């Protein structure tokens, strides 16, 4: 019995020693700062410091996975087409960068063109159903940010398609729904993580194709976006409500209280888990990105309504606020949610404040155009 306990103790000491050497391999200052000099020698030291191959065989896959998660994750991903480099994206319109052209024929092609372009850029590398490197299936660090940016894009994109289906493509509530727009909405309502039978990319690509068919009808004069005050108001209402919901999730992030949950007569606070803080942050940025594209398009399609209501400058101010705000352009290495008065930034709160400001200004714009 004593020999057995002694053997177990020896094995435990060996395991702890191996664990310590593994941590030294991963996190020693020399290994981090000068890997090209230190890693070969550290590997030899780790390999030959114990003569029990079973420990090395058990620890090696874990070590490889940790190294892969820390260093290979950002290298294995292709960021969405709207992103430039690592965690930096083109925050101007995808088709109308700075000089906004006028829609002379007044058919409403700008919004349809924008939705087509945004839909195509989302499909460059749709990560939510990536079977190999998707951050929803592997623990690779750095993959979840562009993935959640895409999910945020999709959330607002679906809202705009719903508004196109219900109001923008119909002159009155009694008019028939445009089937191309209906098909596009239904196809983008498909689950975002299906990789076979049918894959998400297949369905979303078909949705873009439906929008292209609708655009062809618009160019022939068989369909149009009805640029009325009522339709602009409904579009802005849809955008503002989406931004408000997203900003609330940002406010609920970290250690700040979230929604109230009632369980068995007791009231408890529902908090956003710490590992979901950056998910909320990049979802909100994707959400705001699509908002920016749609506002650029609305600036063109509803130009006559905006001019008649003397609201062009108000919409321009909203667009400028988004494009130039540091909270929207910021892509921190780590998303912090510090408290006020401390050195630690509150990234989620800053972005939530921007979204709330945009939402309030959109509500003021709605009052202007409906008065």
Mean pLDDT by runs of 10 across the 371 residues of the chain is 64 72 63 56 60 60 68 55 36 39 65 90 81 60 75 95 96 91 97 90 96 94 92 96 90 54 43 75 89 90 93 93 79 75 82 94 96 88
135 and 231 housed in the same domain: yes
**In this predicted structure, what is the pLDDT of residue 85?**
32
Domain boundary among 69, 102, 117: 69
Instruction: Report CA torsion sign: 236, 332, 70, 73.
Output: positive
Nearest-angstrom CA–CA distance, 239 and 234 = 9
Based on the domain organization, do 95 and 186 belong to the same domain? yes
What pLDDT does residue 249 have?
Answer: 84
61 shares its domain with 98: no
Element (H, E) at 345: none
288 and 231, same domain (yes or no): yes
**Domain limit, last residue, from 69, 86, 120:** 69
Question: What domain count does the chain have?
Answer: 2
Q: Residues 188, 158: contact at Cβ < 8 Å?
A: yes
Distance, in Å, from the CA atom of 218 to the CA atom of 335, rounded to the nearest integer, reads 43
- Answer for the pair 200, 126: CB distance below 8 angstroms, yes or no: yes
Instruction: Check whether residue 52 and residue 86 sit in a common domain.
Output: no
Q: List all residues 6 or more positions away from 88 whose beta carbon is below 8 Å from its beta carbon.
A: 331
Which residues fall within 8 angstroms of residue 114, CB to CB, at 6 or more apart?
A: 93, 94, 95, 96, 293, 294, 296, 297
Domain check: are 270 and 317 in the same one? yes
Q: What's the pLDDT score for residue 335?
A: 81
How far, in whole angstroms, is CA 80 from its chain's centroid? 10
Domain final residue pick, 20, 35, 69: 69
> What is the CA angle 140-118-220, rounded to 5?
155
- Both 212 and 255 in one domain: the answer is yes
Give the C-alpha distances (Å, rounded to integers) separating 224 from 207, 216, 334.
18, 10, 45
- Which burial class, exposed, middle or buried, applies to 131 when counting CB atoms under 10 A from its CB (0-12, 13-18, 19+)? exposed
- Return the pLDDT at 123: 85
In this structure, the answer to whether residues 98 and 221 fall within a common structural domain is yes
> In terms of domains, do 180 and 33 share one?
no
Give the structural domain span for 50.
Answer: 2-69
Alpha-carbon distance of 296 to 281, in angstroms, equals 23
Rounded to an integer, what distance in angstroms lies between the CA atom of residue 112 and that of residue 224? 10
Report the alpha-carbon distance of residue 146 to residue 154 in Å, rounded: 12
Q: How far apart are the first and last CA of the chain?
A: 89
pLDDT of the residue at 294 = 92
115 shares a domain with 57: no
- Are 164 and 122 in the same domain? yes
Residues 271, 300, single domain; the answer is yes
């Amino acid at each position: 019995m004593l020999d057995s306990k002694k053997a177990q103790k020896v094995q435990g000491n060996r395991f702890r020693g191996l664990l310590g050497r593994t941590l030294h391999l991963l996190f020693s200052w020399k290994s981090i700062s000068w890997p090209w000099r230190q890693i070969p020698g550290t590997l030899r030291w780790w390999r030959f410091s114990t003569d029990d191959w079973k420990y090395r065989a058990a620890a090696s896959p874990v070590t490889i996975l940790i190294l892969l998660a820390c260093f290979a994750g950002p290298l294995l991903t292709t960021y969405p087409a709207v992103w430039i480099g690592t965690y930096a994206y083109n925050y101007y319109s995808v088709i109308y960068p700075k000089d906004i052209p006028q829609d002379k024929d007044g058919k409403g092609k700008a919004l349809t063109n924008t939705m087509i372009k945004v839909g195509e850029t989302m499909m460059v590398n749709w990560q939510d159903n990536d079977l190999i490197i998707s951050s929803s299936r592997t623990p690779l660090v750095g993959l979840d940010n562009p993935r959640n940016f895409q999910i945020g894009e999709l959330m607002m994109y679906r809202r705009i398609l719903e508004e196109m289906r219900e109001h923008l493509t119909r002159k009155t509530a009694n008019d028939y729904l445009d089937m191309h727009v209906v098909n596009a909405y239904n196809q983008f309502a498909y689950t975002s993580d299906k990789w076979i039978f049918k894959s998400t990319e297949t369905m979303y690509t078909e949705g873009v194709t439906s929008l292209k068919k609708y655009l062809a009808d618009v160019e022939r004069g068989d369909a149009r976006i009805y640029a009325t005050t009522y339709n602009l108001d409904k579009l802005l209402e849809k955008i503002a409500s989406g931004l408000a919901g997203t900003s609330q999730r940002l406010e609920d992030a970290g250690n700040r209280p979230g929604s109230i949950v009632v369980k068995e007569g007791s009231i408890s606070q529902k908090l956003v888990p710490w590992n979901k803080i950056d998910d909320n942050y990049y979802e909100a940025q994707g959400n705001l990105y699509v908002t920016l594209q749609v506002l650029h398009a609305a600036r063109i399609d509803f130009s006559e309504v905006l001019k008649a209501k003397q609201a062009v400058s108000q919409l321009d101010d909203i667009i400028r606020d988004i494009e130039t705000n540091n909270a929207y352009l910021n892509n921190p290495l780590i998303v912090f949610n510090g408290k006020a008065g401390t050195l630690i930034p509150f990234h989620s709160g800053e972005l939530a404040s921007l979204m709330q400001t945009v939402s309030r200004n959109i509500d003021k714009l709605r009052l202007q155009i409906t008065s």
